[in-house]
Amino acid sequence: MSGMLDGGVRLAAENGDDVEILDFLGAGGQGEVYRVRTPHGERALKWYYPTLATAEQEAIVRELVTRDFADDRFLWPEAFVPAHRGSFGYLMGLRPDRYKGLPALFRRQLRTSPRALLTACLYTVEAYQALHSRGIAYRDISWGNIFFDPDTGDVLVCDNDNAVVEGDASGISGTMEFMAPELVRADPGARPGTQSDLHSLAVLLFMLLMNHHPLKGRRELGIHCLDEAAERKLYGRSPLFVFDPADDANAPDPMEHATVLATWEAAAEKLRELFRRSFTIGLRDPAARVRESEWRDALRAVLDAVVECASCGRQNMTEPGENPPPRDCWGCGARLVLPPRLTVTTPPPRTEHHIRLRRAARVQAHHLLPEPARHDCSDAALVAELVEHPSKPGRFGLANRSRETWTGTRSDGTVQKIEPGQTVPLRSGLDLDLGGGVRAVVRAR
């Protein structure tokens, strides 16, 4: 077996568990990960490289273990495993197979969809928001930390041993690609924290959706092997967005950067706008960075506006809301035909959600709340979905998947009750009372 520990080696975790090394799972930038057997079943053991097994890292891991952060979106350090042959580690849950890394996405090894990617982005934003709201800065957000389910968009944040309490001045790892420019430049007073995490988060979202780094345009082509000065310029001293509207000096190269040219073109303007802000003014002014709540609202709105191309069936992002500009399918070029729109109005402060009623469109529990704490696009939180009439193809209705009885009012004033499990035919002007002060209206455009 390769790696620092041999199969069969037994270690003792500080919580008293006996830990037996089973398999080597992989090596990363800070250490290796093993599958291990414990009295509570199989777990993962992260084992630091000796050069990184510092007292400082040990203190971070011990602090995180005591925090006992119970959140299914994170593989959190669960037990410290003390020194053995010059290093130490910690136990965490094993990553289920359904979660895949971003490198596989960038290499086109995954079958996924724009909806799954947008959902993954939304969940990623909420995961980091959950950390930040507890006063924890992640400090090392990068594409190596995030794993996602290409079918559902569920995310799992790994390598959480880099999270620290906000204000902690501990050093961070060495990759510049995700670091905020002020940290790359080592500006006086600049410290890793939630503000710098916002830059890293924007880079990560850009990479998830565009499959490319936002600052790697023509300028990167001239950088030689580990040329630190050049990289500091690219990411710190004079970072320039590849789609900077005022300066095309770092624009994508048509041959080397074909992917980002295509993915940017296919993205909704609402998201492009936020990326432009993140990577123009946001590079210079940390206070102007896009906040998690802004990302969350924009991502949810765009997710609700994804439609299938009638010609080729591919999923396309469209602009949320009424009367979006016409758009052609990114795949086949056909003009997209927009399905009707369901406007869901929440109780005060009366937020409006616009859901394009594409085939199998869904209303989720988070659509009923003005400020949902967490989005859930799974069946567990399903409220309504668009279904086709079983014997009349082409006729659609909204099926009530909630526990509430709805009241529907047609445009002619007739009223009907829709019990859980029942379906109401889709008609323009249909006004639904979904209970709890939530109203939904079907509109043609």
Partner 1 sequence: MTLGVRRWETLAGSVQGVGKRRNQDWFDCRGTGSGDDPLVLAVADGHGSAVHARSALGARFAVDRFLPLAASFGRAAHDCHEPGRLTRLMTYARDDFPRALVHEWRQEALGHWDRNRPVVEEAAREPRPQEKLVLYGTTLIGAVLTPWLFVAWQIGDGDLAVVEHDGTLSRPLAPAEEDLGDETESLCGREAWLSVRMHWAPVFEEARAPRLVVLSTDGLSKSFASGDGYGEFVRGLAGRLAEKGLADVRETLPDWLAQASRYSGDDTTLAAALRPAETPLPAEAPAPSGTPAPGEISAPGEVPAPAEVSEEIPADAGAAAERTDGEADGDADMERKTET
Q: Any contact of residue 70 with partner 1 (CB under 8 A)?
A: no
Q: Give the tokens for residue 274.
A: 């936020």
Q: Any contact of residue 30 with partner 1 (CB under 8 A)?
A: yes
Q: Any contact of residue 107 with partner 1 (CB under 8 A)?
A: yes
Closest distance to partner 1 from the beta carbon of 29 (Å):
3
Closest distance to partner 1 from the beta carbon of 161 (Å):
12
Per CB under 8 A, which of residues 259..298 are in contact with partner 1?
A: 259
Closest distance to partner 1 from the beta carbon of 359 (Å):
32
Of 145 and 346, the one with the shorter C-beta distance to partner 1 is 145
Q: Any contact of residue 174 with partner 1 (CB under 8 A)?
A: yes
Q: Any contact of residue 106 with partner 1 (CB under 8 A)?
A: yes
Member of 38, 152, 173, 343 binding partner 1 (CB under 8 A): 173
Calculate helix-pair angle for 194-210, 114-133, nearest 10 degrees: 170
Q: Any contact of residue 226 with partner 1 (CB under 8 A)?
A: yes
Q: Any contact of residue 224 with partner 1 (CB under 8 A)?
A: yes
Closest distance to partner 1 from the beta carbon of 349 (Å):
43
Q: Any contact of residue 403 with partner 1 (CB under 8 A)?
A: no
**Cα–Cα dist 108/94, whole Å:** 24
**Cα–Cα dist 37/21, whole Å:** 7
Which one of the spans 47-55, 180-188, 320-328, 364-372 is the region binding partner 1 (CB under 8 A)?
47-55
Q: Any contact of residue 177 with partner 1 (CB under 8 A)?
A: yes
- Which has the closest alpha carbon to 208: 287, 131, 271? 271
Per CB under 8 A, which of residues 202..221 are in contact with partner 1?
A: 220-221
Q: Any contact of residue 1 with partner 1 (CB under 8 A)?
A: yes
Q: Any contact of residue 144 with partner 1 (CB under 8 A)?
A: yes
Which long-range CB contacts under 8 A does 229-236 form with residues at least 24 apart? 231/176, 232/176, 232/184, 232/185, 234/176, 235/176, 235/177, 235/179, 235/181, 235/184, 236/176, 236/179, 236/181, 236/182, 236/183, 236/184, 236/185
Closest distance to partner 1 from the beta carbon of 106 (Å):
6
Member of 38, 54, 238, 351 binding partner 1 (CB under 8 A): 54
Member of 4, 75, 386, 438 binding partner 1 (CB under 8 A): 4
Q: Which residues here bind partner 1, judged by CB under 8 A?
A: 1-2, 4, 6, 27-30, 49-52, 54, 103, 106-108, 142, 144, 171-177, 220-221, 223-226, 255-256, 258-259
